[in-house]
Amino acid sequence: MAVVDVTPLRQVPGFRWLYFGFFFVQGGRQLTVVAVPFQVFDLTGSTLAVGLLGLAQLVPLLVLSLLGGAMADAIDRRKILVWSPLVLALTSAGLMWNALADQPLIWPLFVLSAVNAGISAIDSPARQAMVPGLVGRDLLPSALALNQTLTNTAKAGFPALGGLLIATTGLPVTYGIETVCFLIGALLMRGIPSVKVGGGGRRLEMSSIIEGFRYLKGVRIIQAAMLLDLSAMVFGMPTALFPAMGTETFGGDAFTVGLLYAAPGLGALIAALTSGWVSSVIYQGRAVILAVMGWGIAIAVFGFSGSLTLGLVMLALAGAADVISAIFRGTIIQLRTPDELRGRVSSMHMAVVAGGPRLGDLEAGVVAAVTSVRFSVVSGGLACVLSALVIGRWAPDFLHYRSDQQAAA
């Protein structure tokens, strides 16, 4: 079976509410991903300023992700999933208010983006930790593949929509639609049932966070999975350069920028929709390493590209490689972690997944400012390939990790 397995959606009503609620939340986030960097670049003309936007998001993301993981293991995860989109809606409303001004200010873009990132850091661990309890061990790979389908449907469609909206109706309307998406997401999340945390849960305190770090310290397989994603995002995620490449390298407008943001999501969506084969893969660690290397090669070729069409194809291939990596990384991490620790380990994973691109934005912006946009993209892609080889050598247990080890664990 090649197509994605929809059994979790058919058999688990709670997963359906989570799935469709998250679709609207993810859609709102993807509109923000295009609109805010585009507005920063439009107001400043600086790739470095766009890179610093990622740094502004990184600090609250890292700090609050640890708190979010402890919260997910201590309180009702459903409540977190309902309230987080409501706060995200407030940040989008603030961005809309600023965009309506005759002279929009720069600082609200940084502050509200930082708040947005921080709330996402609280929301994501609860969502990730809830999935195994909703669908069970046997359906987890299929559920994660469905989540990748959802995420990348949003990544493929909403950035392009955002670029089109900015070019035709302006930033205020785009931010307004973001706000509506978050509100719909919060409404749908109310249908998720409460799921008790395995082991009875853990009190929300500093020792709970430390306990999560202690567990992670002793499991190199999980460390390797996180490091592989971090290296790919830090070195091979040049999204901070998309406004400059779309408008200058490829000579386009806001819609062109939106296409660059959408292309990885489109490739990832195609890979996710044809992911029915993932449950038959035995050497999952090896699949992750190969996928990360494929991502880096595609990004390097994208940097060399002088054609928008070729550039979009390479970004799509990179996205396809990334979704395969994400499915197997998520499966390994979730099933190697006890349920009573899943929120905290998921928060650390989320800090890597969401923090890596912010560091990547900073790295890409700084290198581009010192050298050139093309050199920044190409060197980052090649560094991604090299780091995957190094991590595979450092963690041979991950390289040879088999799916049948999950049941034994």
Q: Encode the chain (409 residues) as per-residue pLDDT tens digits.
A: 457 778 888 888 888 999 999 899 989 988 888 899 889 988 988 878 887 887 788 788 777 777 777 777 777 788 888 889 999 999 999 999 999 998 899 999 999 988 988 888 788 777 877 887 788 777 777 787 788 788 878 877 888 888 889 888 889 999 999 999 999 999 998 888 876 665 545 565 666 667 777 887 778 888 888 888 888 888 888 888 888 888 888 888 888 888 898 888 788 888 878 877 776 777 888 889 999 999 999 999 998 888 899 999 999 999 899 888 888 888 888 777 777 777 777 777 777 776 777 778 888 888 888 888 889 999 999 999 999 999 988 988 888 887 665 544 4
> Alpha carbon of 119 to those of 68, 83, 89, 124: distances in Å?
9, 10, 11, 9
Is the Cβ–Cβ distance between 5 and 277 less than 8 Å? Answer: no
**How many C-beta atoms lie closer than 10 Å to residue 292's C-beta?**
27
Q: Which residues, in sequence order, are CB contacts of 189 under 8 Å at separation 6+?
A: 17, 18, 21, 22, 78, 81, 82, 85
How crowded is the C-beta side of 28, counted as CA atoms within 13 Å?
A: 32
Distance CA 44, CA 394 (A): 42
Is the Cβ–Cβ distance between 241 and 47 less than 8 Å? Answer: yes
Distance CA 200, CA 242 (A): 46
> Alpha carbon of 272 to those of 112, 168, 266: distances in Å?
31, 31, 10
Using alpha carbons, select from 170, 184, 157 the residue that is nearest to residue 96.
Answer: 170
Is the Cβ–Cβ distance between 378 and 304 less than 8 Å? Answer: yes
pLDDT of residue 100: 93
Distance CA 210, CA 304 (A): 44
pLDDT of residue 181: 93
pLDDT of residue 301: 93
pLDDT of residue 129: 77
3-state helix, strand, coil in the chain (%, to 5): 85, 0, 15
